[in-house]
Amino acid sequence: MKKTIEIVKDTNLEAKKEQNSNENAKADPTIIKKKVADLTKSYPTIPKKTMDTIVASAFKIAEAFGTNVDDNHVLLGGSIDLYNISAWTEDEKTAISFLKKHTGTFPILEEVYYKTATKSKNLRNDIIKYLSNSQYKELANYYKSKGYNWL
């Protein structure tokens, strides 16, 4: 019985992830605006200006990593990735500079990145994937120096 419940949970999570990816793949400003508004409601104690900065940073990080929706398209129902030339290289320095701005709000940045800026990409995985070991260690040490262990 427990295994059946886990299978149903996994199926539901996978369906939500696919729905999120499909919505984000359209890069529809109306959908993105609604998602941002919903996320803002989830964090009522975060000032609007701070939330706007987090949202802007999530999109800048996605662009720097080449994972933003505008630079990534798929063919044949998602079986073939088609990238714009600008997505072929990463701009790690830009990504790191934006990541350093959000030591205390990293979980929110991570959620915004996943739900709005990319097609359901995990920010932590992308940090590991696109930063060199030395860049990752530098960023992790920076977070630790500020009292956070997100990475």
Paired residues of 82 in beta bridges:
73
Predicted local distance difference test score (pLDDT) of residue 83 = 53
pLDDT of residue 87: 47
pLDDT tens digit sequence for 27-57:
577 888 888 899 999 999 999 999 999 999 9
Residue 49 located in a structural domain: yes
Range of the domain at 101: 2-145
Mean pLDDT computed over 76-105: 74
d(Cα 4, Cα 13) in Å, to the nearest integer? 14
Task: Examine residue 56 and state whether it is found in any structural domain, yes or no.
Answer: yes
Report yes or no on 134 lying in a domain. yes
Any domain includes 26: yes
Rounded to the nearest 10°, the torsion over CA 68, 71, 77, 80 is: -110
- The helix or strand, by DSSP H or E, that contains position 72, with its residue range, turns out to be strand 72-75
Query: What pLDDT was estimated at residue 52?
Result: 95
Half-sphere exposure for 150 (CA within 13 Å, toward CB)? 22
Number of domains in the chain: 1
Identity at 14, one-letter amino acid code:
E
- Compute the distance between CA of residue 56 and CA of residue 48 in angstroms, rounded to an integer: 12
pLDDT confidence bin for 88, thresholds 50/70/90: low
Asked whether residue 136 is domain-assigned, the answer is: yes
Q: Enter the pTM of the model.
A: 0.77
**What are the tens digits of pLDDT across the range 100-148?**
999 999 999 999 999 888 877 899 999 999 999 999 999 999 999 999 9
Ordered alpha helix ranges (H), 66-121: 92-100, 106-112
